[in-house]
Amino acid sequence: MEPLERVRSKTVVIPSSNIDTDQIIPARFLTTTTKEGLGKQLFADWRYGADGAPNPAFVLNKPESIGCQVLVAGHNFGCGSSREHAPWALLDYGFRAVISTQIADIFRSNSLKNGLLPITVDDSTARWLEDHPGAEVDIDLSVARLTLPTGVAVTFPIEAFARHCLLNGLDELGYLRSRLGDIERYEAARIKDA
């Protein structure tokens, strides 16, 4: 995983609430056995018509969305299925952060493990962001701070361990494997108890 410390980018706004992982990437694309190349299927049913042609009304098909790394979305983003294909698709497309007033638990966990930063903000910050699509925001993970172009800065909650892993590009598996001695002792004690 690449280290992630700073994201400075314009935003793309999809204001719908409860955007589920079936919208982020529909189930018919889950027959893949790899993580790669899912960006073209991101939001497939909103992004393309039945004939496969891009839907010009959808925000990702607008020229101003090209190169944007920050997605602003409505409340409860990423609800539904546990498919990690959802953050894989967002990352493959080029997003590095998602901002919402609430982000579903499993999606949040999957995102943190892949270098996609889930940011929850208060209602008024969210409303400002939704009202200003394309705003240039500055995210500094080292201090867990999101700065708007107005100069207003808000801090966002992030688990200390997840932040440490993201800042240093570490895989959590390395830490878990460093605890194998504890795991073996736990197993031995449980077998003795049973």
Summarize as ranges the residues that interact with another protein (CB under 8 A).
15-18, 20, 22-23, 26-28, 30-35, 45, 50, 74-76, 79-84, 102, 104-106, 109-110, 113-114, 159-161, 164, 172-173, 175-177, 179-180, 182-183, 186-187
For the bound state, the minimum distance from the C-beta of residue 46 to another protein, rounded and expressed in Å, comes to 8
Nearest to 137 by CA among 124, 150, 156: 150
Sheet with 97-100, strands from edge to edge, namely 117-120, 97-100, 70-73, 6-14, 136-140, 145-147, 153-155
Q: Which is nearer to another protein, 148 or 166 (CB)?
A: 166
Q: Which is nearer to another protein, 9 or 110 (CB)?
A: 110
- How near is the Cβ of 70 to another protein at its closest, in Å? 21
Burial of 28 (0-12, 13-18, 19+ CB in 10 A): exposed
Rounded to the nearest angstrom, the gap between the alpha carbon of residue 147 and the centroid of all alpha carbons in its chain is: 18
CA dist 111 and 117 (Å) reads 6
**Closest CB to another protein among residues 93, 107:** 107
Alpha carbon distances (Å) from 156 to 23, 100, 169, 182 = 26, 11, 20, 33
Shortest spacing between CB 77 and another protein, in angstroms: 10
Q: Which is nearer to another protein, 63 or 192 (CB)?
A: 192
CB of 88 vs another protein, minimal distance in Å: 9
The single-letter DSSP state of residue 62 is S
Please identify, using beta-carbon distances, which residue of 103 and 148 lies nearer to another protein: 103
Residue 125, classed as helix, strand or coil, is: helix
Q: Which two tokens stand for residue 182?
A: 């504890």
CB of 140 to another protein, least distance (A): 20
d(CA 22, CA 82): 10
**Residue 157: CB minimum distance to another protein, A:** 11
Nearer to another protein, 74 or 94 (CB): 74
